[in-house]
Chain A
Amino acid sequence: MGTNLDIKVHHLTRVEGHGDIVVNMRDGVLEKARLEIVEAPRYFEAMLKGRNFHEAAIITSRICGICSLGHQMTSFKATEQALGLEVSEQTVLLRKLLVHGATIQSNVLHALFLAAPDFLKVGSVFPLVGTHPEVVLAALRMKRLANDIGEVVSGRAVHPISCVPGGFTQLPSAKSLAVLRERLEKQMLPDLVFAADVVATLAGEIPDFRRETEFISLRSDDDYALYDGDICSTDTGRVPDREYRRMSNEFVVPHSTSKHCKVNRSSYMVGALARWNNNHDRLCPEALGVAAKLGLKPDCHNPFMNTVAQVVESVHCCLDAMAILDRLLAAGIRDEVPNQDPTRHGTGIGATEVPRGILYHEYTYDRQGRITAANCIIPTGQNLANIDDDMVKLVPEVVDRGEAAIAHLLEMLVRAYDPCISCSVHMLDVKFTR
């Protein structure tokens, strides 16, 4: 007789949003192994319809607090393209700085608060306060500083205030930027190196699993693409961002309030590991050194290594943030007002790498600058089919370990993707008809 399995993890913990893991095996035959998304849909398109361009980012940033900066950036880029709003080089640099801050904040939160407890075999970060205080304190310091970048440059780390379409309503002082520069070098960098050392000691706990899949991320000629770039697939190479619909292909499945995606295979992966596989040659030497230390190699097909890729790119983000600050400080902060005078109307697309992967926003505006159509494709939605495919391969490989151990491993798998379920169910794909 073959094995029977009945696993249901209801409202998975330590992930953002609500999802259940469901596995059924009858007589050794796997009937079902998947992540069911049960988060309440929020119907963002109903909120966007007819709204003025000033409000697009205010609304879409509420799709997800953790990714709010990423949604804002992507939203601005789409709006600016649609309405023909040029932005200054200073604006782009400040935005890139914000993206680095948000990436570090999110990666550190995930690696040390949400994923590390699995490797240390505890249920949350709270017991670590007693057993590993230096790790918790370093993580808190890094999070603080990453959030401070958001606060100094945009007023608030969750739902930033002063960045708007066309620029900033208020600019940070050179003095406050110089302080950030100093703290990044003196505090953040050593803390990140320390975090990498901690992760290195846990590397043996990272499950050994491999499933070949397609990886999609942005790629650009001159940097490790986060704010801007072409869409790049490990299967088929680079295409411009206007082809994003072909590069994501959404479809509805009954077991998930979030739509699924596929391109060249039955599934693909986005996020830090996809960025690593596509863009490791664009990382600074220090980040590559950390990758070597952590055993992260190019063409890595182990999704559990996503957490490691997050740590590696955080080192790069910190050093690049310092370089950006040097440029801003050398040029001096120019007093500018946001450019909010549309020169045309129509459709615009924004593609940005947010911590969990590639994010697309597309808006169409009418002559009055009001939204008539919106589409928004979220990283976690793109990863869902890949997670299901991983489960289908992983479960038979570990079937002898018993239900509890399998359930735990599957939870770790889902967490490794750092899923953002709130985001994933708030997809917009609408043509408004009056």
Chain B
Amino acid sequence: MANKPRVGIFDFTGCEGCELNQLNFEDQLLDILEHVEIVEWREAMDGRSEELDIAFVEGALSTPDCIKRIHEIRRKTKVLVALGACAVQGGINALKNIRPIEQVREEVYGQDKYLFPTLPALPLSAVVKVDVNVRGCPMTQLEFLKVFTALVMGKAPIEPGNSVCTECKLKDNECVYEKGMICLGPVTRAGCDAQCPTFGQYCTGCRGLVPEPNVEAMQEILVAHGLSMDDARKKLQLFNANQLEGVS
């Protein structure tokens, strides 16, 4: 094929778990490489590139340098894909946004707090246009493959809008509330195939809130299951602090 899509993979503030998950397609990796040309990926190869058809971007934006780099990437890219909770919502990094930044810096670096510049952790969409979201922490491989296939075939990927509960019920899982646990499935976007409840763990909300979530009702359910109002709010903030507290 003469014109395989040129792909770049980039990382900002995150744990690189989403990127790692791309190397974890042991069975499909070689097929993937047949269909695209990876021209820029710092974590796995040397070299830089000037023009890209697709950029997969992991991580939140949290320093002035991040903001500069995401602009450069946007400028040279046709389709920009946000990979994972950090890039889509700010993710777990956004927890720092709900506390005064001065205090946060002082706690880690003490009197050296001004050595390193920092900003609130922002989702990519707060700074540039994002064309496609692949959600989750880490992003699920199944969903990545779907999005990837759609993009290579020139189609627009579909983003699920229903809740994790709908997927969980389809799988006939025992609801973890039955075991005396709590769960954020009712307000969390589907697409992970209810991975955590399937392994007996509660949903932590990593995929972001459903469109028009009923946060109040969710909080009441959590309180009815023994959490304090404060703890209920904290549970919801874990991956969604920016959305809930209106930071971005």
Listed in ascending order, the chain A residues whose CB lies under 8 Å from chain B are 11, 13-17, 38, 40-43, 45-47, 49-52, 55, 58-59, 62-66, 68, 109, 113-114, 123-126, 129, 136, 140-141, 143-144, 147, 154-159, 161-162, 164, 168-170, 252, 254, 257, 422, 427-430, 432
Contact = CB atoms under 8 A, between A and B. Distances in A.
Contact of A143 (B24, B95, B201): B24
Given A13-B45, A432-B107, A40 B63 contact: yes
A62 B104 contact: no
A427 B19 contact: no
Contacts of B47: 13, 123-124
Interface in B90-115: 91-93, 95-96, 99, 103-105, 107-110, 112, 115
Contacts of B210: none
B96 A43 contact: yes
A58 B85 CA distance: 14
A162 B200 contact: yes
B44 A113 contact: yes
A143 B23 CA distance: 9
29 contacts: A13-B45, A14-B42, A17-B16, A40-B13, A40-B118, A42-B13, A42-B62, A42-B93, A43-B104, A43-B108, A46-B96, A46-B99, A47-B96, A52-B234, A55-B238, A59-B95, A59-B238, A62-B17, A62-B92, A65-B16, A65-B138, A109-B23, A123-B45, A124-B47, A126-B45, A136-B30, A140-B26, A143-B23, A143-B24
Contacts of A63: 15
Contacts of A147: 24, 26
A123 B45 CA distance: 6
A15 B112 CA distance: 27
B201 A169 contact: yes
Nearest to B69: A11
A42 B96 contact: yes
Given A63-B15, A257-B116, A40 B62 contact: yes
B66 interface: yes
A195 to B, nearest CB: 15
A14 B105 CA distance: 29
A52 B231 contact: yes
Contact of B15 (A68, A140, A254): A68
Nearest to B15: A65
Contact of A158 (B24, B96, B99, B121): B24
B96 A169 contact: no
B57 interface: no
Nearest to A125: B44
Contacts of B91: 62
B200 A169 contact: yes
Interface of B: 12-21, 23-24, 26-27, 29-30, 33, 38, 41-47, 62-63, 65-66, 91-93, 95-96, 99, 103-105, 107-110, 112, 115-116, 118, 121, 137-138, 195-196, 198-201, 204, 231, 234, 238
B227 to A, nearest CB: 9
Nearest to A137: B30
Contacts of A252: 109-110, 112, 115
A100 to B, nearest CB: 17
A307 B80 CA distance: 36
Residue with the greatest number of chain B CB neighbours at <10 A, chosen from A15, A45, A62, A159:
A62
Task: Determine which residue in B18, B27, B95, B118 has the highest number of CB atoms from chain A within 10 A of its CB, and name it.
Answer: B95
B67 to A, nearest CB: 11
A64 B112 contact: no
Given A40-B118, A126-B38, A428-B108, A158 B238 contact: no
Given A16-B43, A155-B199, A58 B15 contact: no
Given A40-B63, A42-B121, A124-B47, 17 more contacts: A14-B44, A16-B43, A47-B92, A62-B137, A65-B15, A65-B18, A65-B20, A66-B17, A113-B44, A123-B46, A129-B30, A147-B24, A162-B199, A164-B201, A170-B200, A252-B109, A432-B107
B26 A159 contact: no
A129 B33 contact: yes
A250 to B, nearest CB: 11
A400 to B, nearest CB: 24
Contacts of A254: 112, 115
A183 B195 CA distance: 25
Given A140-B29, A162-B201, A429-B108, A65 B62 contact: no
Contacts of A68: 15, 17
Nearest to B19: A65
B201 to A, nearest CB: 5
Contacts of B20: 65-66, 158
B11 to A, nearest CB: 8
A144 B26 contact: yes
B199 A161 contact: yes
A65 to B, nearest CB: 2
Contact of A161 (B26, B42, B110, B201): B201
A58 to B, nearest CB: 6
A155 B201 contact: yes
Contacts of B63: 40
Nearest to B138: A158
A169 B92 CA distance: 23
B107 A430 contact: yes
7 closest pairs, A vs B, by CB? A65-B17, A124-B45, A169-B200, A170-B200, A123-B46, A155-B199, A144-B26
B66 A40 contact: yes
Contacts of B105: 43
B113 to A, nearest CB: 10
B236 to A, nearest CB: 12
Contacts of B104: 43, 45-46
A40 B12 contact: yes
Most chain B CB inside 10 Å of its own CB: which residue of A16, A42, A157, A252: A42
Contacts of B95: 46-47, 59
A11 B104 CA distance: 26
A175 B115 CA distance: 54
